[in-house]
Chain A
Amino acid sequence: MKPHPLIEQLDKQAREKEGVFFAHIANRLGRDRITEKPVQPVRGVPDFWREYNLGEQERIELFMRNWESLGGTAKRFATKEEIAAFIDELAHGMSAKQIIRAKHGLLEEMKVDEKLSDLDMTIWEKDSPADLLAKAAGADIGITVVDFAVAHTGSVVVTSSPEKGRSLSLLPTIFIAIVPAGVIKTKMGEVMREVTKWNQNGMPAGIHFISGPSRSADIENDLTIGVHGPGIVYALVLDEK
Chain B
Amino acid sequence: MSGFNPTSTLEERARVALNDEFLRNAVKYTTEKLRTNKKSATDELGNWEDWRDRGRMIRLHTIAHLDYYLSLFVENVRKAGGYVHFAKDTKEAVDITMKIMEAKKAKSVVKSKSMVSEEVHINHALEENDIEVVETDLGEYIIQLAGETPSHIIIPAIHKNKQQVADLFSAEAGETLPPVTKTLAGFARSKLREKFLEADIGMTGCNFAIAESGSMVLFSNEGNARMVSTVPKTQITFMGMERIIPSFEDLEVMASLLPRAATGQKLTVYMSAINGPKRSEDSDGPEEMHIIILDNGRSQQLGDPEFQEVLNCIRCGACLNACPVYRHVGGHTYGWVYSGPIGAVLTPVLNLDNREQWGEVANASTLCGACHEACPVKIPLHDMLVYIRRRNVEEGIVKKAEQLGMKGFQIVASNHRLFRSVLRFGKVAQLPLVKNGMISSKLGPLKAWNSFRHAPALAPQSFRDSWSELDQELKQTKNELPADIKQRMEEIVAKRGKQR
Contact = CB atoms under 8 A, between A and B. Distances in A.
A153 B267 contact: yes
Given A6-B99, A25-B66, A195-B248, A226 B189 contact: yes
A208 to B, nearest CB: 5
Contacts of B182: 224
Contacts of B391: none
Contacts of B57: 41-42
Interface residues of B, number: 108
Contact of A188 (B61, B103, B230, B255): B255
Given A14-B83, A137-B197, A206-B274, A214 B221 contact: yes
A94 interface: no
Nearest to B81: A205
Given A35-B68, A38-B61, A200-B79, A216 B185 contact: yes
A128 B283 CA distance: 9
Interface stretch (B133-141, B321-329, B398-406, B414-422): B133-141
A1 B233 CA distance: 14
B85 A228 contact: no
Contacts of B241: 25
A36 B193 CA distance: 46
A110 to B, nearest CB: 22
B299 A24 contact: yes
B79 A155 contact: no
B216 to A, nearest CB: 11
A205 B279 contact: yes
Interface string A22-56: 11111011100111111011111110110000000
A205 B252 contact: no
A227 B189 contact: yes
A206 B275 CA distance: 6
A217 B303 CA distance: 39
Contacts, number: 294
A21 B239 CA distance: 15
A142 interface: no
A7 to B, nearest CB: 5
Interface residues of A, number: 92
B47 A46 contact: yes
Contacts of B61: 38, 40-42
A209 interface: yes
B102 interface: yes
A215 B182 CA distance: 11
A196 B247 contact: yes
The interface centre, meaning the residue of A14, A70, A153 with most chain B CB atoms within 10 A of its CB, is: A14
Interface in B84-120: 84-86, 88, 96, 99-100, 102-104
Interface string B250-277: 1111011000000101111111111111
Nearest to B224: A228
A90 interface: no
Contact of A229 (B158, B226, B231): B226
Contacts of B231: 133, 167
Given A18-B74, A218-B155, A209 B284 contact: no
Contact of A43 (B246, B265, B277): B246
A49 B277 CA distance: 33
A203 B256 contact: no
B43 interface: no
A46 B45 CA distance: 13
The interface centre, meaning the residue of B88, B230, B272 with most chain A CB atoms within 10 A of its CB, is: B230
A166 B284 contact: yes
Contact of A44 (B33, B68, B252, B295): B252
Given A165-B284, A200-B76, A214-B222, A219 B266 contact: no
B178 interface: no
Interface string B26-70: 100110010000000000000100110010011001001111101
Given A208-B272, A227-B222, A189 B249 contact: yes
Nearest to A198: B213
Nearest to A222: B181
3 smallest beta-carbon distances between A and B, as pairs:
A229-B223, A44-B249, A218-B139
Given A4-B103, A30-B303, A66-B266, 18 more contacts: A36-B68, A43-B249, A132-B283, A160-B285, A187-B252, A188-B267, A192-B251, A192-B252, A195-B273, A206-B273, A207-B272, A211-B270, A211-B271, A214-B221, A222-B181, A224-B185, A226-B189, A227-B223
Interface of B: 26, 29-30, 33, 47, 50-51, 54, 57-58, 61, 64-68, 70-71, 74, 76, 79-80, 83-86, 88, 96, 99-100, 102-104, 136-139, 142, 155-158, 160-162, 165, 181-182, 184-185, 188-189, 192-193, 197, 212-215, 221-224, 226-227, 229-231, 241, 246-253, 255-256, 263, 265-279, 281-285, 287-288, 293, 295, 299-300, 302-303
